[in-house]
Amino acid sequence: MAQGDRILPTGQHLADAAMWLGSRLSRFFLPPLCLSCHCGITTQNALCATCWSQLHFIEKPLCPVSGLPFAFDPGPGMLSAAVIASPPPYDAARAVLRYDDVSGRIIHRYKYGDRMEAAPAMAAWMARAGADLLGDATLVAPVPLHRARLFSRRFNQSAELARHLGHRVRVAVVPDLLLRIKATQPQVGLSGQARRRNVAGAFKVNPRFSDKVVGKVVVLIDDVMTTGATIEACARVLKASGASEVRVLTFARVVPQGDTPI
């Protein structure tokens, strides 16, 4: 090449430059903020060091069915007394975090603060926590919202988590596998029994997909589990429609004080 000749940029060079510029502009107009406390951080879709240090991950030992942590390791396969006394309609449940101030802020900002960018990070954590549930799963499906609630909220937070999770672990996602046919009142503030009465008869399998349920392993996705009333209502409908297994994966869940007794 003669001295003074210019090297013209290739298509790949131009694409790389455009991505670099887009990243810089994104960071300028949308600076990275902690998913929990909203303080400035250096990385998108992450937590600040303070919030990260306050997370309480749900780790083993735990009940293989309820997914709630044991106070101490009782040995492999041991079920909690609550599960033995009253088996839930689902086959196994897992969650990433205990529901507390930090995880609660992440969920609240995601659901009500238009922090849609949190979904991929939350789904990545859920994939890790639910690896044993997802390995041989057939379908991933979110807990549905009633159309009136969906209109007011503008998106189903559980469906977004399911979409990102399914893409990450390569399991088919059916966002409208379940339909919410009754506009229930908000569950916040209701007792466990009141929550169960509130969601009784609220769900059904979408007739378009009834054949997809029979003999399948379905993983239900929700952002948080409190008493489990909503998840249990969905699981019963899926089991009644022929699902061979129903597993539950949430981002956070309420853990009874003192962990789960054996």
**pLDDT tens digit sequence for 110-133:** 888 777 888 999 999 999 999 999
Residue with the larger pLDDT of the pair 250 and 187: 250
pLDDT digits over 55-87, tens only? 999 999 999 999 999 989 998 889 999 999 999
pLDDT category at 100 given cuts 50, 70, 90 is very high
pLDDT of 28 over the 50 cut? no
User: What's the rounded mean pLDDT across residues 33-54?
Assistant: 90
Q: What is the dihedral of CA 195, 197, 201, 206, to 10 degrees?
A: 10
C-alpha span between 219 and 183 (Å, rounded): 23
pLDDT on residue 192 = 63
Pick from 5-14, 126-135, 138-147: least confident: 5-14
Q: Please state the separation of Cα 153 from the chain's center in Å.
A: 17
For the entire predicted model, the pTM comes to 0.83
pLDDT score of 57: 97
Instruction: Tell me which residue has tokens 């902690």.
Output: 34
- Name the least confident of 81-95, 140-154, 209-223: 140-154
Q: What confidence tier does 141 reach under pLDDT thresholds 50, 70, 90?
A: very high
- Among candidates 215, 62, 204, which has minimal Cα distance to 129? 62
Residue 48's pLDDT band (cuts 50, 70, 90): very high
Do 220 and 89 form a contact (C-beta atoms < 8 A)?
A: no
What is residue 260's predicted lDDT score, i.e. its pLDDT? 62
Tell the burial category of 242 from Cβ atoms under 10 Å away from its Cβ (0-12, 13-18, 19+).
middle
Cα distance between residue 155 and residue 172, in whole Å: 20
**Which amino acid is located at 129 in the chain?**
A
Count of C-beta atoms within a 10 Å radius of residue 254: 15
251 close to 224: Cβ distance less than 8 angstroms: yes
Domains for the chain: give ranges and CATH numbers.
11-54 (no CATH), 55-253 (3.40.50.2020)
Examine the pLDDT at 23 and tell me if it is beyond 90: no
**Tokens at 33, concatenated:** 């903020």
Q: How far apart are CA 83 and CA 95, in angstroms?
A: 17
